[in-house]
Amino acid sequence: RKEVEQDPGPFNVPEGATVAFNCTYSNSASQSFFWYRQDCRKEPKLLMSVYSSGNEDGRFTAQLNRASQYISLLIRDSKLSDSATYLCVVHASGGSYIPTFGRGTSLIVHP
C-alpha cells in the first residue's frame, strides 16, 4: 500500500461545479499536510496548508481527519483555470522529514 493515496481521476466537471478530492495516508505519525497544484509541464506550487481545524482560502477549503487518516480539498464554483493536477503532500514527524507526495488527482473544468 502506498503511503499517500489519491484517486488519479480525471474529474471532469462543468464550470461553477463544486468538486472534492480526498487523500489518504498510512503513517499515523504524520504531522504536516499540504495541497499543491501542478499545471501540465510546470513545477508543483503550494496551494494551501491543511490545519487540524480545517481552513479556507477563497473558493478552496481543506480539511484533515486524523481518526480516518485522510485530508480533503473542496473547490467551489470551479473555474476553467482550476484545471490542473492536485497533489497531496504529507510530512511525518521525526525521522527523515522527507515529504511524501501522492500521485495527484487530475481535474478538468469544462465550459
| 49 lies in the site for other proteins, by CB under 8 A | yes
Residue in the structure block whose three cell numbers are 467551489:
76
| 26 lies in the site for other proteins, by CB under 8 A | no
What Cα–Cα distance (Å) separates residue 37 from each residue in 55, 96, 100? 17, 24, 15
Q: How far is the CB of 16 from other proteins (least distance, A)?
A: 27
| 75 lies in the site for other proteins, by CB under 8 A | no
Q: Is 38 exposed, middle or buried (0-12, 13-18, 19+ CB in 10 A)?
A: middle
Q: Which CB sits closer to other proteins, 71 or 89?
A: 89
| 70 lies in the site for other proteins, by CB under 8 A | no
Residue 107 to residue 31: CA distance in whole angstroms:
27
Among 15, 16, 28, 45, contact with other proteins (rule: CB under 8 A): 45
Q: Which CB sits closer to other proteins, 60 or 101?
A: 101
Among 62, 87, 107, 109, contact with other proteins (rule: CB under 8 A): 87
Tell me if 109 sits within 8 A of 49, measured CB to CB: no
Phi, psi of 82 (to 5 degrees): -80, -10
Q: Which CB sits closer to other proteins, 40 or 111?
A: 40
